[in-house]
Structure formats: structure tokens, C-alpha cells
Chains A and B, each alone.
Chain A
Amino acid sequence: SQTIHQWPATLVQPVGSPLSLECTVEGTSNPNLYWYRQAAGRGLQLLFYSVGIGQISSEVPQNLSASRPQDRQFILSSKKLLLSDSGFYLCAWSLSVGRSDYEQYFGPGTRLTVT
């Protein structure tokens, strides 16, 4: 069966510090991968998605970047955090693109607080 891991689970970082959040998927190959942010009281905002190694699409301009160094590893980074980067970050995977009826499977999330 497939599983998705995210770490760390919680993180408190000062403004201006770097960020690295990691997501890994097990039990499947060549998944589509997604990073979402969920701010307090708001819905989910898609930040990045990837259809393969080194292939990253950004959905919104922002202070964050993403990388996919391996097939089942997705990393969210920032060089300098802003207060507005605080939120709940969710990683998700789905079967490969080409169909729209594939559901996404979500990880447990990382709670990021920027102080």
C-alpha cells in the first residue's frame, strides 16, 4: 500500500531564516506531487506541483520554491521566511497526469509558525 510522509510535523522559525520541508511517498512510482498551504481560516492553496523529477510548476508567485530530486521526494524551501509564510503545509500525491478523476492522497502536514 502507498504511504506519504512529511517532516517535521511542527516547526517554529524566526523571520529571515531558511526553510526546508520534506515529503516522501512510498509504494508507488512516478506519482504527481503537490504542495499546498492552508492558512488559518482559509482554504487550501496549491503552491507547486510536479509530474516528474526536476519538473516543477509554480501556481503562485511567492517566497517559496520546490524541488524534486528523486521520483518520490518533494521538498519545499525558502531562503528567507516571512511572517506571512506561517501556515499548515500539506503534501499530496496522485497517479500520473492524463486523467482528471484521480484523487489526491494527503500527508499529515507540517505546522509552520514564523515568529
Chain B
Amino acid sequence: AQSVTQLGSHVSVSEGALVLLRCNYSSSVPPYLFWYVQYPNQGLQLLLKYTSAATLVKGINGFEAEFKKSETSFHLTKPSAHMSDAAEYFCAVSPSNTGKLIFGQGTTLQVKP
């Protein structure tokens, strides 16, 4: 069965610092992977997705993620954090041909001034 593990339920960075949110997946077949962001009391918004076209995926708001098959990882990064990046971030994997998503437990990003 496919699964997703997000390392670190809370990450705190200073404004302008590098953001790194970790996601490892478990899958017996090449996965499709997604990162979503959730602001307080709102739905989820897609940041980016990996569909095997390119290992480095660029998303909205300056975020990007790199698919590393050897490490079974899909970490989310942003070179310089903004206060507006404070939110909860979810990594998700899509089992083959089901249309469903399996989410990680989420990582809350805090950005300090």
C-alpha cells in the first residue's frame, strides 16, 4: 500500500530563510505526488505536482520540489520565506488509477519576523 510520511509536524524559520519541508513516500510503482497548502480555516490549494515529466517541479508562490527515487523523497523548498507562507502543508500520493489521494499528517510552517 502506498503511504506518505512528513517529517516534522512543526517547522519554524525566520523571514528570508530557506524553507525545507520533508516528505517521504512508500510506493511499489512510480507514484504521482502532490504538495498542498492550507491557510487557517480554508480548503487546500495545490502548490505543485510530480507526474514523472521532470524530477524538479516548480509550483506557485516560489515553491519547488524535487523527486528523488533513490531516497523515495519529494521535499518542498523555497529559497526565501515570507510571512505569508505561514500555513499548513500537506504532501500526498495518488495510488494508480484510483483518483484518490493519500495525505501525510501535515507540517505547520511558522515564519518569524
Q: Interface residues, chain A, CB within 8 Å of chain B?
A: 32, 34, 42-44, 46, 49, 51, 88, 90, 92, 94, 96-109, 111
Are B90 and A99 closer than 8 Å at their CB atoms? no
Q: Classify chain B: how many residues form its interface, as a range.
A: 20 to 34
Asked if A94 contacts B34 (CB within 8 A), the reply is no
Q: Flag the segment in B11-19, B41-49, B63-71, B75-83 that touches A.
A: B41-49
Give B residues with C-beta under 8 Å from A: 32, 34, 36, 41-46, 49, 51, 90, 94-106
Assess whether A90 is in contact with B100, with CB atoms less than 8 Å apart. Answer: no
**Which one of B34, B51, B100, B106 has the greatest number of beta carbons of chain A within 10 Å?**
B100
A106 pairs with B44, CB closer than 8 A: yes
Q: Is the CB of B49 within 8 A of A32?
A: no
Q: A97-B97, A106-B36, A106-B45 are in contact. List 15 more A-B contacts (CB 8 A).
A: A34-B100, A44-B44, A44-B106, A46-B102, A51-B99, A100-B32, A100-B96, A100-B97, A100-B98, A103-B46, A103-B49, A105-B46, A106-B43, A108-B42, A109-B43
- B34 near A100: Cβ-Cβ < 8 Å: no
Contact A90 to B43, CB < 8 A, known contacts A32-B99, A49-B100, A100-B99:
yes
Chain A residues with CB below 8 A from B44, complex form: 44, 90, 92, 104, 106
CA separation between A108 and B102, bound complex, in Å? Answer: 19
Nearest residue, chain A, Cβ from B43: A106
Chain B residue nearest to A95 in the complex (CB): B99
What separation, in Å, do the CA atoms of A44 and B45 have in the docked complex? 14
Q: In the complex, what residues of A have CB within 8 A of residue B96's CB?
A: 100
In the complex, the chain B residue whose C-beta lies closest to that of A99 is B97
Known contacts A101-B94, A103-B49, A109-B42; is A43 also within 8 Å of B104 by CB? yes
